[in-house]
Amino acid sequence: MKVPTMLLAAAAFALLPATTATAAPAAPAAPAAGASTIVAKYTFDSAASTVNDASGRGLPLKMRAADGGAVRYVTKGSGRALAFPVRCVQNAAKCPRVLLEGGDDADLDPGTKPFTYGVTLAATAAAVGSESNILQKGVADAQGQWKLQIGGKKKLPSCVIAGAGKGAKRYIAKSSAGVLDNKWHTISCQRTATQLIIWVDGQNRGSVAVPSTVGISNNLPLRVGAQNLNAKQTAFGGAIDDVVVSVG
C-alpha cells in the first residue's frame, strides 16, 4: 500500500529504522485474564491518517499534529508499526509532534471491573526524555484516569490509575525492568480486584495494592503518544504497535 505523503516524516525525524528494532524474546503480551473482552485494538498495519480499531468495537484514532509533526511507518515482522517524530529539545522554538486521539468510548471506562491495557514499543532513552505518556484516558484530579508512562530517574515504565475527584489517590505500579534498548517490548497494565500489576514481556515486574472500590469512568478520549499537544515534554519519540485494551 502506498503511504500517504502527509504521513511521511522528514529524514531529520527518522528515529527508528526497521533494521534497528529487533524483536524481544517471544512472550505472552499479558497474563491469562480469564473471560476478558477486547474492547479496543490498534495494529497500525495500514498506513493511513486514521487508525481503525481491529477489534470491531473501539473508535478510530485520529492524528493530531503540531509544528509540522508527522509519523512514519516501519516494518515489524510481517506487519507495520508506527514511529512518532523525534522528541524536540527543551525550550525548542519549533517542536514537531503528533498525538493519536480517539473519542470518548464508554467501553474504555472500566469502572471497578478488572481490565488490562498495554502496547508493544521500541525506544531509546532519548525518545522518552524525563517523561513520556504512552497511553492515557482521563486526567488526575478529575473524573479518574488510567495511564501507561515511562520516566523517573531510572526511566522505567509504570502503570497509573486514579479514582475520580480532586486529590484522589494515584496508584502506581513501577516496573523493575527497563525497556529503552531500541528493541521491541510488550508492556501491559493489569488491574485486578486487589492490585495493579505491570507486565513486561510476559513477566510480572511490579505491583501495588488497589482498593476494589476505586472506579474509573470519564468523558475524555483515549490518547496515545502524549498527554496532549500542549505538553511538549510528555511526547513519546519512539515506535509503537498493538495497542490493546480488554475488560473483564
Segment 218-243, tens digit of pLDDT: 999 999 999 998 878 789 999 999 99
Instruction: Catalogue all structural domains in the chain, each as residue range(s) with its CATH number.
Output: 37-247 (2.60.120.200)
pTM: 0.85
Q: What is the pLDDT of residue 34?
A: 56
Q: d(Cα 5, Cα 71) in Å, to the nearest integer?
A: 10
Segment 30-54, tens digit of pLDDT: 455 457 899 999 999 987 889 999 9
Q: d(Cα 8, Cα 5) in Å, to the nearest integer?
A: 5
What value, to the nearest 5°, has the Cα angle with vertex 145 and ends 95 and 229? 15
Going from the C-alpha of 62 to that of each of 59, 101, 187, 213, 222, the distances in angstroms are 9, 5, 23, 33, 10
CA proximity to 30, closest of 116, 159, 149, 146 = 116
Percent of the chain with pLDDT over 90: 70
Segment 114-127, tens digit of pLDDT: 999 999 999 999 99
Q: What is the pLDDT of residue 5?
A: 34
Residue located via cell numbers 485486578: 192
Segment 146-190, tens digit of pLDDT: 999 999 999 999 999 998 877 789 999 999 999 999 999 999 999
Segment 179-204, tens digit of pLDDT: 999 999 999 999 999 999 999 999 99
Over 70: is that where the pLDDT of 7 sits? no
Over 60: is that where the pLDDT of 66 sits? yes
Over 90: is that where the pLDDT of 108 sits? yes
20 pLDDT band, cuts 50/70/90, is very low
Q: Poorest-confidence range of 32-41, 47-56, 65-74, 78-87?
A: 32-41
What mean pLDDT is predicted for residues 74-82? 94
133 pLDDT band, cuts 50/70/90, is very high
Position with higher pLDDT, 1 vs 44:
44
Over 60: is that where the pLDDT of 213 sits? yes
